Structure 1
Amino acid sequence: MTLLRVEDLKKVYADGTAALNGIDLTVEAGEFIVVIGPSGVGKSTLLRCLNRMVQPTSGKVLFQGTDTTGVSKRKLREIRRSMGMIFQGFNLVERLSVLANVLHGRLGYMSAWRGALGLFAKPDVAEATRLLQRVGLGEQLHKRADELSGGQQQRVGIARALAQKPQLILADEPIASLDPASSEIVMNSLYTFCKEDGIACLCNLHQVDVAKKYATRIIGIYKGTKVFDGTPEQLTDEMIDYIYNQHNDKASDQSEADGRLARALKKETA
């Protein structure tokens, strides 16, 4: 079942920067898709356009058949409940407890006044506690979020996203600021929970080796354009070189860059 369909998505910022140049992609239920590419090619903008944290310039984002780019605030709130978000910088409320941060994943289901007062239902508290136990933080419930390590904070972020009961998780460079050991724990947790719960995931990563380890599909972004969409086995060294080593080509070198892309695509489909 197609959960998300993106059609000719474009984003041009006020200063004229074209972050996305006509992205087309689909996400099927249960897929674990990794988006790769160097910094500044539009990966983060792509995820933020999907949940309307950033308003696209044009194109369509169809989530369960509804175009999110033109819906009302009320409808957007409903859609966002089904889209969990995991941030590179964790995005936790540091002065609040670990448990309270996970409970924030339930705010989309509550009235504004109950959310402001922190009046969470007992079943939500029980579920948040269970999720923290699931990510290995059951003994950290009442610690302040800023008392945890980076890897632990990111696991709180995963638990918060899971508390939404989402159908899709958007993970924006979830291991960018973590050491290798913490990165492995976080990626194992994210992948395992998505698979166990049947949640689709669209995850931005820099690390190609990590992408190949976890992804069911890999999407490569080059200068705001999708240049690769296939399995980890189909991602050739030539394509990796094009995506990561040629993104600073000068205009005078564009014909050579285009030739390298053509060769990479030819080998990919051979």
Structure 2
Amino acid sequence: MRPATPWLQNHWDWRAAGNFCGGGAGTGALILAALAADSPAEARILALLGIALVGAGLSLVWAELGRPLRALNVFFHPQTSWMTREAMAAVPLALAALATALTGSRTLLALAALFAAVFLYCQARILHAAKGIPAWRVPQIVPLILATGLAEGAGLLAAAALALPLPDWIGPLLALLVLARFVAWRRYFGHLTAPGNAPVAAADVLRRLHPPLVMGGHAAPVALLLLGAVVAPLQGPAVAAAGVVTWLAGWWMKYAIVTRAAYNQGFAIARGPARTPGASRPGCKPGWS
């Protein structure tokens, strides 16, 4: 029998987290690739990179299903389910990205980027719609998932710049997106660690995550980018390293939110019953501050 205190959900494991990791980085890369790719060869490579990550994430979700052959049922509820909308956006996204990989068309890449933006937004709303999980249901989760998806995409492009002649503005853009993710994380973290906004166990997970994420996932990329700007011979490797760190930090953060901070609401009594004549007693909410 379950206790009254919030317990960690176990329906969404590392495979569900993998969908948010692959989908966020892949769509972020496709969105930014539409701006950065200057040649058909670059368009082909970046389109393949983006759709491979999105496909890998969706494959993990498919593998998580208890009955994988019923996966098509996900398309049946577009009026109520953000997961359905994500799946519906994935179809034209895959077609546009694969067509780009075949033709190198920047027009098709722009179309893929449009569907990628829809897909990324749906992913953010999937978590927000999970009203039983306090760490997911807050409005601050939406800008956080959007910001980290774009930051991860910029990180992938920054790493790819070692092999592809991508524009020089990838580094400054990466710095701006790292800053945007930091702001989104601070708003999310500050809200959920305030008294009464999340179960104590979920808030403790976020508190342990916060220092290494800020230093390793935000301060370190900025320091690497500054190093590349000051020491010209190190610019390429430093920007690539900043991209890899940004990308992996985003995956680490989403894994922690989806699998480790995902404590549910638990049970609460708004007001205790009066066992003797007189007023009722104060209620209780176990596991919350």
TM-score by shorter chain over 0.5: no
Q: TM-score by structure 1 length?
A: 0.27
Which of the pair has more CA radius of gyration? 2
- Name the one with the larger helix percent: 2
The TM-score, its normalising length taken from structure 2, stands at 0.26
